[in-house]
Structure 1
Amino acid sequence: MIVWRKSSYSGGGNVGGQDCVEVAELTKAIGIRDSKAPEAGHLSLPATGFTALVARIKQGELEL
């Protein structure tokens, strides 16, 4: 069973706090999904890719 949890960075600074990203530890990967549309599926990244993505977000390198 996959256990999804809300990202600690979700909901900050948005109107109504409705932006929610959930993450889960998968077999050999990290899953990311939109909590408002879990039926839409998820993105799977290897742990190193997930770490790199989070680092780029924290550094402001990506437009969100």
Structure 2
Amino acid sequence: MRWESWSQFWDMGGYGLYVWGSMAVTALCLVVEVWLARQAQRQALALARTEVEEAP
């Protein structure tokens, strides 16, 4: 596709709100997923450390 200007690119033929909105939601979901995965990893490592320290 070719656009005459940047404003036409951002507008996407009238579908810009849907295109860029879906891109933003997808990016947000990916960021939240990475954040939750890191948080779960930290909790699992902390639990493993406490279990190793408490082992006889």
TM-score, normalization by structure 1: 0.27
Determine which structure has greater relative contact order: mean sequence separation of CA pairs < 8 Å that are 6+ residues apart, divided by chain length. Answer: 1
Q: Write 1 or 2 for the structure with the bigger share of strand.
A: 1
